[in-house]
Amino acid sequence: MSGDKTTITVDRDVALRCSKLARELGIPLQKLASDALRIVEEVMKDGGNATDLVLTWRCVKSITTVDTATLPINILLKIFEDLEPGKYVTDFYTSGREIGVAMSNEITFADLVKRPYILKTLIPIRYANSKETESEITITLAVPSYVKKLMPLISAYIRGILDAYGYTQHKIDIKEHIIEIKIYKNIQT
């Protein structure tokens, strides 16, 4: 850390919380603030923002409460090559529900809808978008085209996540490598 210092103005409540955290961690406030600014700088240079960073961290934190393994999708495809993926739909749904319960403690459904790319930490998606109307939410996900065989499993996993958030009235359509999820807002359980 450089010996040079500068003064910045932050909201008082933020300064107080950061000061308390630095004391609890046993580190100087200057180090806490400098580290935080470096992290946010890197995220923003890549086109993200502080909210993206927080939500991604919360997603990662929530999935660590469930036994997970991050595997390249081509490995999963090889595993399922000789198996019938349809036999595992219930297992994928159950796993999605477990992860959804953990996620719902960290990430609100509204945040998940606003930033559906968060699902990239859970499933192999290349593109995510959402559109909201008064009566429904549509989330569109594009997955790599070579995962077509796994689409029933991915759909079951997504259903589990949605059900864990209490949104049991939804429809998932699959067209090639596009997953379109329609969630009906007025029928939340």
pLDDT tens per residue, range 48-78: 888 888 888 888 888 777 776 676 777 777 7
**In sequence order, which residues have a C-beta less than 8 Å from that of residue 137 and are 6 or more positions away?**
113, 130, 131, 181, 182, 183, 185
pLDDT for res 187:
55
| pTM of this prediction exceeds 0.85 | no
Is the pLDDT at 2 greater than 80? The verdict is no
Residue 99 pLDDT grade (very low, low, confident, very high; cuts 50, 70, 90): very high
* Euclidean distance between CA atoms 82 and 29, whole angstroms: 56
- What's the confidence (pLDDT) of residue 56? 85
